[in-house]
């Protein structure tokens, strides 16, 4: 009976981590899509600050005690908003083509690394977690395929892919560390 209970708890935590990963991916996509399609970006950033903190705290609370998960989540949300302001995802990029795609890729890697830094510094995650910031190249490859096929500028769809990738990385790190 004890083994069944332990197995149920382990399965429950893995399912919860998977659901949080999916939710963070979807909400991250909505976050960036909303911010970059609205003219009043400052108000959107302020309105999304609290949900971003809750969103980044929730996966870490599966792995860490709440007194550690809350600072990690709040710092990650601040880094997310700071990364959006410091390294813009579509507003300050060079002209279309390969220079724009390279700038997008480097900007995405920098933003994702900035968002993963609190997990390493405050949360005690291993240093190799920062390598997960290379997953930000996925949206650049997607945009390259879209532009090579000359489908056109799908600004809303591209920014949603950016947000989804970064949301999945943010939620996937605690799930990955919990499995390991």
Domain coordinates of the chain in residue numbers?
1-97
The predicted pLDDT at position 71 comes to: 92
Structure confidence at residue 96 as a pLDDT band (50, 70, 90): low
Residue pLDDT, tens place only, 5-41: 776 667 777 787 778 778 877 877 777 767 766 666 6
Percent of the chain with pLDDT strictly greater than 90: 2
User: Helices 155-179 and 66-86: crossing angle, nearest 10°?
Assistant: 150
Q: What's the chain's length in residues?
A: 180
Angstrom distance (rounded) from CA 66 to CA 1: 30
The predicted pLDDT at position 53 comes to: 81
3-state SS class at 118: helix
In 38-154, which residue ranges form alpha helices assigned H by DSSP?
A: 41-61, 66-86, 98-121, 137-148
Of 50, 59, 57, residue with least CA distance to 31: 50
């Amino acid at each position: 009976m004890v083994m069944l209970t332990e197995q149920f708890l382990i399965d429950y935590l893995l399912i919860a981590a998977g659901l949080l990963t999916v939710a963070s991916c979807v909400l991250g996509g909505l976050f960036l899509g909303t911010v970059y399609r609205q003219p009043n970006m400052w108000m959107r950033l302020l309105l999304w600050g609290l949900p971003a903190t809750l969103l980044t705290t929730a996966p870490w609370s599966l792995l860490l005690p709440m007194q550690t998960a809350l600072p990690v989540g709040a710092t990650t949300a601040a880094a997310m908003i700071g990364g959006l302001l410091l390294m813009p995802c579509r507003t300050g990029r060079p002209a279309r083509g390969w220079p724009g795609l390279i700038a997008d890729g480097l900007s995405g890697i920098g933003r994702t690394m900035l968002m993963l830094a609190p997990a390493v510094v405050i949360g005690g995650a291993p240093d190799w977690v920062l390598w997960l910031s290379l997953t930000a190249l996925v949206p650049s490859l997607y945009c390259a395929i879209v532009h090579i096929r000359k489908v056109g500028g799908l600004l809303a769809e591209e920014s949603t892919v950016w947000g989804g990738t970064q949301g999945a990385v943010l939620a996937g790190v605690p799930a990955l560390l919990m499995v390991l």
